[in-house]
A and B are shown apart, each in its own frame.
Chain A
Amino acid sequence: MNGTRLVKIATQSIVKNKMRTLLTMLGIIIGVGAVIVMVAIGQGAKAQIQARIDNLGTNLVVITQGASQTGGVSQGAGTSNRLTLADFDALKRESTIFTGVSPVIVAPTQIVGGAGNWRTSVNGVSLDYQSIRAWPVASGRYFDDTDVRAMRKVAVIGKTIADNLFAGQDAVGQQIRLRDVPFDIIGVLTPKGQTAEGRDQDDVILSPYTTVQTRLSGRQFITQILGATASKGDIPAAEQEARGILRESHKLASYEADDFTVRDQTELAQAAQGTTQVMTILLAAIASVSLLVGGIGIMNIMLVSVTERTREIGIRMAVGARGSDVLTQFLVEAIVMSVVGGVIGVGVGFAGSLIVQRVTGWGTAIAPQMVLLAIGFSAAVGIFFGFYPARKAAALDPIEALRYE
C-alpha cells in the first residue's frame, strides 16, 4: 500500500476518536508547552542581562590590575604592579584608537548630608567617563576640565543617593561631607538601574579623580581604567594597543607576562551569560521530564487502544493488511498525534509565556529554532513511544483478533 493511503487511514482513525486523540495528545501538549515557557523565561533573562551589559556603555574596554586569572590561579608574578595614574596618562597620551579614557578610583566613603548618613563608593573619574559610560546628568552639570585640574571638591551623585539624602528637594547646590570634607553637589545622574549581578549602579558618587586621590584615597593606585572606541570593530585593535602601551609603561621585558588584564564587553557578557545559560538548561531539563511523561502517556493510551481495537486490527488483517501495514498505521497515528500535540503545545507555550510576562513582569523570548526543536522532539517521542504498541498490534493473529470481544 502506498504512503498517502496509509496516512489517510491513520488520520481517519485519529479524527474518528476525538476523545481518545485528545487524551493521547494532552501529555505532549503540556510537555511541549512547559518546555517553551521555561526556555522563554531563560531566554528572557538572557536578553535582560545583555541589555544591562549594553547599559555599561557601548564599545567598552576595561583594564584592571593583575594578570588574568585562570581557575583561580594567577598566571603572572607581578600582582604587586598596580595600575597608576601614570598608566592612565600614558594611555591618554599615546592611544590613537580610544575615543575616551578614564581612570576609576573607587573609595568607599561615609557621607553625611541632607537627611543623614549614607555609605557608598565615591568614584574618582575623568571627564571622558560620562561619554564612555553613556551616562548623562539628569539635572545640574558634569564636572569640567577646570574642576579636574583645580582638584575642586565637587560631586555628581547617583539617583539612589539623591532620593535617600535629599528626598523631595533639589540636590544640586547642596553640600555633603565625605570623610568630613565638604563637597558641592553640582549634578544628579540619570538612573541606570542594576548591574547584571544586581548591584545598584545609581548608588554612586562621581568626583574628579584628582580630588578623590588627594582627599579621599590618598593612594597612588587606581582601581581600573575604562576606555571607549568609536565602534565594536575597533575593540580588538584598541585592546592590542592598550596592552602595548601598558607593557611599556610597566617596563615589562618581552619574556614577562602581562601584569594587568584588558577585557571587553564580550567577555563580561560571557561571564554573565554563563549563569543564565545554566539556568536555561536547568529549566529546560525540568520541562523535558514532563515531555517524557507525556510520551509515556502516549504509549499508555496506545497500548490500551491496541487492546480496545483488537477487532479492528483483525478486520484489517482479514481483508489483507500485512503486519507491517498495521505497524505503520499505528506508528503514523502516534507521530501525527504527537506532532499535532507538539504544535498545540507551542501555542500553549506562547500563551503561557505571555501570562508569565504579565504576572511576573519578567521578560520572555521565544526563539524560532526552539519551536522547531520542540516539534521535532515531539515527533521523536511519537516514534519512540508509539513503536512498542504498534509492534504489539502488528503481531496479533488475525483469527484471534477477529474473535476478540
Chain B
Amino acid sequence: MAAANAVIRVEGLERVYATGKTEVRALQGVDLVVQPGEMVAIMGASGSGKSTLMNILGCLDRPTAGSYQLDGVRVDGLNRNELADIRNAKLGFVFQGFNLLARTSALENVELPLMYSRRHKGVDTRAAAQASLERVGLAERLDHEPSELSGGQQQRVAIARALVTRPSLLLADEPTGNLDSHTSIEVLALFQELNDTGITMLVVTHEPDIALYTKRVVELRDGRVIRDEAVRDRRVAAEDLGAATPLALAS
C-alpha cells in the first residue's frame, strides 16, 4: 500500500460558507487518505460537515482551502468543466433522495451519464445501461419510471446509474436514509459486493449499525476528524439477510 496509490488524499481541507454577514466554517482542516478497495463510513452528528466533505470529494463543490488529490491528480482549483468531466468519468455518486429524473424510465436514467460521456462515444448506451441495471438486480424493471418503483428499487436505479461509467470510486451520502432497515441491508449487501469487486466506497451514515457493514469508520465533529479506526466484527449483509432472500446479484 504505497502512499502514492491513494484514491483520495485530502490535506487541511477547509470549506467556509459565507451566508450574508455570518460565516459557517463547515470543514476546518480535514485530513483523510483512502486507499483503493477500502469501504469507509463517514459518521458524525447533524451539521458536522459530512455532506460538505462528500460534495467536495465528489467534485460537486470546491474547497475554500486545502488540497485534494484524486487518483494522484490534484483536483482542487479545477474549473467547472473539468470537474464535470471528472464526475462523469471517475466518480459515482448516490444521494439520500435518489435524484432520479421524473417521468423517465429506469433505463434512460441509467443511460444519462453515458450521454454526457466524452469517453463512451461509440458505446451502445442502452446495452451498457441494461447491464448495469442487471448488476443491481433490476433486469425486470427497465421501463419503469421512478414513480412506479419502491424506494429500495429507486436507490438501486441510482446505484446502477453511478456504476454505468465503471468508476473506481463510489460516494454515497446517506444512501439508506430514506429506506427501511431491511431494504437498507439489501443496499449494503449490494455495496459490499461491489466493494468486493474492487470499487472503493465512501458511505455517509449517522447510524452506527450501518457503519458496521464497512471496513473503516471516520467520524467528524464541527468540521474536524475526531475518530478514524478500522471496524472490528465487520458484518456481512448477505448473511444477515439470510440465505432464503434471493438477491439476483450478478457479478
Contacts and interface: CB of A to CB of B under 8 A. Distances in A.
A and B associate in one complex: yes
Contact of B81 (A1, A319, A322): A322
B249 interface: no
7 contacts: A9-B115, A312-B102, A315-B112, A318-B58, A318-B60, A318-B99, A398-B60
Contacts of B84: 317, 320-323
A399 B99 contact: no
A360 B118 CA distance: 59
B104 A2 contact: no
A324 interface: yes
Interface string A12-32: 100011000000000000000
Given A5-B115, A315-B101, A402-B95, A322 B108 contact: no
Nearest to A17: B103
Interface stretch (B18-26, B68-76, B85-93, B189-197): B85-93
A316 interface: yes
A320 B85 contact: yes
B99 A12 contact: no
B116 A322 contact: yes
B118 to A, nearest CB: 7
Nearest to B97: A402
The 7 closest A-B pairs by CB, nearest first: A320-B88, A319-B113, A322-B84, A320-B116, A321-B116, A320-B87, A5-B115
A325 interface: yes
B80 A1 contact: no
Contacts of A316: 112, 116
A108 B101 CA distance: 83
A2 B121 contact: yes
Contacts of A6: 115
Given A319-B88, A320-B88, A325 B101 contact: no
Interface in A1-53: 1-2, 5-6, 8-9, 12, 16-17
Contacts of B116: 1, 316, 319-322, 325
B161 interface: yes
Contacts of B61: 399
B81 A324 contact: yes
B117 interface: yes
Given A315-B99, A321-B116, A323-B81, 6 more contacts: A2-B121, A317-B84, A321-B84, A322-B84, A322-B85, A399-B61
A204 to B, nearest CB: 73
Interface of B: 55, 58, 60-61, 80-81, 84-85, 87-89, 93, 95, 99-104, 108, 112-113, 115-118, 121, 125, 161, 165
Contacts of A9: 115
A5 B114 CA distance: 10
Contacts of B113: 319-320
A311 B60 CA distance: 14
B80 to A, nearest CB: 6
Contacts of B115: 1, 5-6, 8-9
A79 to B, nearest CB: 78
Contacts of A5: 115, 125
B101 A323 contact: no
Nearest to A325: B116
B37 to A, nearest CB: 24
Contacts of B100: 315
A7 B84 CA distance: 20
B112 A12 contact: no
A325 B104 CA distance: 19
A325 to B, nearest CB: 6
Contact of B117 (A1, A17, A312, A317): A1
A204 B80 CA distance: 83
A17 B87 CA distance: 28
Contacts of B95: 402
Contacts of A324: 81
Contacts of A312: 101-102
Contacts of B117: 1, 320
Interface in A259-315: 311-312, 314-315
B87 A318 contact: yes
B118 A1 contact: yes
Nearest to A1: B116
Nearest to A321: B116
Contacts of B88: 319-321
Interface string A91-127: 0000000000000000000000000000000000000
Contacts of B85: 320, 322
Nearest to B95: A402
Interface string A329-352: 000000000000000000000000
A402 B121 contact: no
B238 to A, nearest CB: 28
Given A2-B121, A319-B116, A399 B60 contact: yes
A56 to B, nearest CB: 65
Interface string A380-398: 0000000000000000001
Nearest to A394: B80
A399 B115 CA distance: 20
Nearest to B83: A398
Contacts of B81: 322-324
A14 B88 CA distance: 24
B11 to A, nearest CB: 22
A318 B86 CA distance: 10
A13 to B, nearest CB: 9
A321 B117 CA distance: 8
Contacts of A323: 80-81, 84
Contacts of A320: 84-85, 87-89, 113, 116-117, 165
B112 A322 contact: no
Given A318-B60, A322-B80, A16 B112 contact: no
